[in-house]
Structure 1
Amino acid sequence: MTRNFRQELLTASGGFHEKYKTKEVIGRGLSSVVQRCIHRTTGKEYAVKVIELADDSMTDAQLDEVRRSTLNEVEILQTVSGHRSIITLIDFFSSATVAFLVFDLMKQGELFDYLTKKVTLKERETRVMMQELLQAVEYLHSRHVVHRDVKAENILLDDGLHIRLSDFGFSCLLRPGQRLRELCGTPSYLAPELLKCSMDETHPGYGMEVDMWACGVVMYTVVSGFPPFWHRKQLTMMHNIMEGKYQMNSSEWQDRSHTIKDLIFRMLTVDPSLRITAEQALSHPFFYSHKLEEQPFTSLQKFRVVVWVIVLCARLWANQRHRRPVSQNDLIQDAYRMRLGRRLIDGHAFRLYSHWVKRGLVQNRAALFQNTPRALAEEVHLNHDSSLH
């Protein structure tokens, strides 16, 4: 922090510090830091985004943009306040050099970090998370707000793993019929029309459809574990975005339903006029696919079914055998034929002879330690290994 900023924290922003007590840093941005804070009266925990509005390392134009973005974020948050899947602005303090935005504390952090641990989400978890995200986007669009920076890093999770859409710095109100031309957002989430608009002065501009494209990128990522258009060469990535080039034929997709693929396809449609809206997406069959779908099994699903059938049959057969009472005649004629008899005989033989007595070619060394106490097995393994035959 700059010297002026530190002074501002101690003087002009006294209102915030009188009401809240700051704790550890939980996140950082280009011109901001996020800390956990505690309300002094109630003891309730929140998160405060501290934005430096006067930094010697920034140009005047950059500082103006930070101030404008901060005020815009506050106005947008006040406009969309109250939705359960959108972060709530609890309090706001501002001066000439610093701003404090107090939010709900989302203890599970970003969806991005959650994916780092989980890699991919199952369809049931994806269904819940995407439904909440699309409900948030639908709510924004119904109030003529376009977010313009929907991404995994801006989706926060609470203790119940419910999502809250956050970071409205790029958001703006969009009047009916109005189109935007500003290039903003995160490269791998940018919609094709937004990129084309930045390259073509005659392009008509873009609208709320860019949020649905970003939702498609988020959904693809949580399902497969990697983004659809990422490439180490940015020009190649931009080309793939504008052409809508992505794939769903890798092993990660073999076990996924047709409905989840179809919804992603409809969100990642290059032509914004044909792209699915948030309202339409919420009515998509994917959100009702917990019911049995009439679709052919994939090869992997068939293999799993076969394995489970074999295991089930083996267990039923074993249980049936164990239910038959063992007679004295059975023990006299061939006690070793029964599993219980084998274990009993082998266990006592091992204790008597202290080594394995091989019975035919089907026996293996693994059975040596199956019927003995662990300590005896370890002792035999160390001292009598040469006697195995």
Structure 2
Amino acid sequence: MIGEGAYGKIFISTVGNINVAVKIISKKGKSNEYLEKFLPRELEAASKLKHENIINVFDVMESKNSVYIVMELAQGGDLLDKITEEGPLSKEEAQKIFKQIVEAVEYMHRQNMAHRDLKLENILLDSECKVKVTDFGFSKTVQKNELSNTFCGSAVYTAPEILKGEAYDAFKADVWSLGVILYGLVYGALPFQEGSIIQVVQKTISLPQMKVDKDCEELIISMLEPEAAKRANLSDILSSKWFN
């Protein structure tokens, strides 16, 4: 076993002469909401999303008790492990990795799909350090200006409007999560901890006294804007001074 999440375990297997990852999701003990809503969404995303920075799914098989998702093997591990082991990334490496993440999310949004669970653990790297976004169990097809109500994702990456129980724009919520990810890449830690979620709701954030590019700091602040209507969008991010 090479990984384990809330809903499944991941193993390495071989198809022909190719090593693959197989996510095995047991149906036993799972809620009806998961089996009827979140699992079908993950399978829909697996079949619909085709992008170089999104994990490629080769096949999905189902038995009475389990679902098997066969996908490409990302041998470089996830970003949380990377910054835990290496600390903050250099400007050049952070730019390279974060741009790929944003491009993957931008592609999803163009397909009218929000991820809703973006976090360092769900960003994998292949053997050449190429980004592979994964884990689409909370993804949702949404239309422009459509609001969502479901609380999902990990609290430390969750936008304040969701934490306050408000209806929210899932695309804007993804941008907030991207801001938390970029913070983690350049500072080597997250801006909020489980016990300090009240900070998010109270709209307070402070940047560490570290030597980080000013343009990067401004980009992080624009993504971690508590008011969703004022928050940066993906085109703002890709055209920011930090990237150009």
- Judge same fold: TM > 0.5, yes or no: yes
Which residue in the other structure is 2:115 paired with? 147
Specify the SS of the correspondent of 1:221: helix
**Distance in 1 (alpha carbons) for counterparts of 2:151 and 2:241:** 34
**Distance in 2 (alpha carbons) for counterparts of 1:30 and 1:66:** 13
Q: Give the 5 Å matches for 1:100-179.
A: 100-179=68-147
Q: CA deviation at 1:267?
A: 0.5
**Distance in 2 (alpha carbons) for counterparts of 1:280 and 1:34:** 36
1:78 aligns with 2:41: no
Question: CA 1:249–1:35 in structure 2 vs 1: closer, same or farther (change >3 Å)?
Answer: closer
Pick the aligned partner of 2:224 from 268, 271, 289. 268
**Distance in 1 (alpha carbons) for counterparts of 2:42 and 2:177:** 19
Contact kept, 8 Å, 1:193 with 1:206, in 2: the verdict is: no
Contact kept, 8 Å, 1:229 with 1:245, in 2: the verdict is: no
Structure 1 residues 153-201: Cα deviation after superposition (integer angstroms, max 9, x where no partner): 00000111111110000001002332100111101000011112x2xxx
Q: Give the 5 Å matches for 1:265-304.
A: 265-288=221-244
Specify the SS of the correspondent of 1:101: strand
Pick the aligned partner of 2:18 from 37, 44, 51. 44
Structure 1 residues 325-363: Cα deviation after superposition (integer angstroms, max 9, x where no partner): xxxxxxxxxxxxxxxxxxxxxxxxxxxxxxxxxxxxxxx
Question: Unaligned 5+ residue runs, structure 1?
Answer: 1-24, 289-389
**Distance in 1 (alpha carbons) for counterparts of 2:5 and 2:134:** 13
Q: CA deviation at 1:116?
A: 1.3
Q: Which amino acid aligns with 1:272?
A: A
Q: TM-score, normalised by structure 1?
A: 0.61
Which residue in the other structure is 2:6 paired with? 30
Q: CA deviation at 1:204?
A: 4.1
User: RCO greater where, 1 or 2, for CA within 8 Å and sep 6 or more?
Assistant: 2
Which residue in the other structure is 1:355 paired with? none
Aligned length: 244
- Between Structure 1 and Structure 2, whose CA radius of gyration is higher? 1
Specify the SS of the correspondent of 1:273: helix
1:244 aligns with 2:203: yes
1:229 aligns with 2:192: yes
1:209 aligns with 2:177: no
Specify the SS of the correspondent of 2:228: coil
State the Cα RMSD in Å: 1.5
**Distance in 1 (alpha carbons) for counterparts of 2:132 and 2:83:** 16
Contact kept, 8 Å, 1:181 with 1:206, in 2: the verdict is: no
Q: Give the 5 Å matches for 1:4-23.
A: none
**Distance in 1 (alpha carbons) for counterparts of 2:160 and 2:34:** 25
1:88 aligns with 2:56: yes
Contact kept, 8 Å, 1:209 with 1:275, in 2: the verdict is: yes
Q: Give the 5 Å matches for 1:310-389.
A: none
**Distance in 1 (alpha carbons) for counterparts of 2:37 and 2:49:** 18
**Distance in 2 (alpha carbons) for counterparts of 1:204 and 1:28:** 31
Specify the SS of the correspondent of 2:24: strand
**Distance in 2 (alpha carbons) for counterparts of 1:67 and 1:94:** 14
Of 210-219 and 29-38, more deviation after overlay is shown by: 29-38
**Distance in 2 (alpha carbons) for counterparts of 1:210 and 1:192:** 9
Contact kept, 8 Å, 1:85 with 1:136, in 2: the verdict is: yes
Of 162-171 and 70-79, more deviation after overlay is shown by: 70-79
Contact kept, 8 Å, 1:76 with 1:168, in 2: the verdict is: yes
> Which of the pair is proportionally richer in strand?
2
Q: CA deviation at 1:63?
A: 4.7
**Distance in 1 (alpha carbons) for counterparts of 2:169 and 2:146:** 9
Which residue in the other structure is 1:97 paired with? 65
Contact kept, 8 Å, 2:145 with 2:169, in 1: the verdict is: no
**Distance in 2 (alpha carbons) for counterparts of 1:164 and 1:147:** 13
Q: Which amino acid aligns with 1:126?
A: A
Specify the SS of the correspondent of 1:246: coil
**Distance in 2 (alpha carbons) for counterparts of 1:134 and 1:162:** 13
**Distance in 1 (alpha carbons) for counterparts of 2:66 and 2:208:** 50
Q: CA deviation at 1:67?
A: 5.1
Contact kept, 8 Å, 1:213 with 1:268, in 2: the verdict is: yes
